[in-house]
Structure 1
Amino acid sequence: MKALIVDDERLARKELISLLSVHEQIEVVGEAINVDDAFEKIKQLKPEVIFLDIQMPGKTGFELLEMLDHVPKVIFVTAYDEYALKAFEVNAMDYLLKPVQPERLEECLSKLISNETNSELKEEDILDRSDKLTYNDQVFVKDGEKCWFVKLQNVRFFESDGNYVKVFFGENKPMIHRSLNALEERLDSRHFFRASRKYIVNLSWIENIETWFNGGLVVHLKTGEKIEVSRRQSTKFKELMSL
């Protein structure tokens, strides 16, 4: 896996690179000294995993993730144990405390490689043909002090709320500062459908469909939630679902 090290401390970067050198599965392809540097190098080098410091001069590691459309796998490397535990849910990501211990790094990499092996796409990688986010991509969502790494397949639907969009997954519905139109352009239309001005729905979460009084449709999700498909979009939806 190609890796990028993002840390403003040169000695911390060199120490981590040295520790990673004994792990053949990881290839360090670059270093970044701050968020803006990392943003450019991620676009250029396309790493599969980034080792990311949280507290850096200027922008934080959180802000870097918010800037990215496609988030690589992320391992946080931080000196702030209490801060990391507060900011992230236990199963949402992994993090290493400075100074990094070789045993802890090995444990982290073992989990990383295992997850990568289990999530490999059997179909041709969609990113080779399109810059759209794929169904198996994960995105970073931050709302206040809570942060999540969410696979798009686990998002039931998106709901427009002014200049924000609510992201519905599990019991959560955090808000991101993005328009529904911009989000629609990035999503794979084979899996996500623009039901109306207000909603984009994940087709795999639909359990059944009913006709609505105004010529539109209502889709019932497996969770019991209902999403109205506008009359204008109903024709497209019927064609898509072969109704």
Structure 2
Amino acid sequence: MALDALFFVVLALALGFKHSYDADHLVAVSNLLTRSRDLRKTSLMSLSWAAGHMITASLITIVLFTFRETLLRDFLAHVELLVAVMLVVIGVLGLLLEFGILHGHFHRHKAEDLEHPHVHLARLTEHRAMFGIGVVHGLASNDELLVLFVASLSVTSLLGLLGGVGVFSVGVVLGMILFGLGVSYPITRWGSVRVRRAVNVTAALLSLAYAAYLFLGFEGLNLLPIVPG
């Protein structure tokens, strides 16, 4: 019994870590993480994303546990299209910000100062954006959660299922923080203005390219090997 519980925890943690490296996750968050100039801020932004992901992943798990009809599963499977739309928005905004068509800044100005389009960024905008991205990504994680906690592990109680989601989410947090630090540290340490711009533009273009990939009906990619079931 103890070995079964240990296997449950280790597998849930491993699959959560793996899940954080879904390609749509990485291209979306990269557009914000590459703009961070502080490793602590990067870690907190990653946590904001994971918090949003955990909330909707938990809600989806409850829904899937309560309503197990095939129709509902088929409906949730199409959430990938919502992810694709989000990637388009992120990519377009990233390019507009990078090339100065939109720009974010902190300032006060008179009502008549409307010479160019701009965006006012609150101090917590990045965290709110990361949280919102995590919410959408959590909606698209239903298939993996269902396989892990219902089919593979034969978890039959809602409490056990939510416990599994909690462990799964810890793995997601660890994976995203590791990725965030891996992306931000080289840029923070050695990145010049040109390097930052090149990285930001590349991240935006990858977001648009992957959105097109999803719109064409291809299955999502994951950068880590598939864990055998």
Q: TM-score, normalised by structure 2?
A: 0.23
Q: Which is richer in strand?
A: 1
Q: Which is richer in helix?
A: 2
Q: Which has the higher contact order (CA 8 A, sep 6+)?
A: 2
Higher Cα Rg, which structure = 1
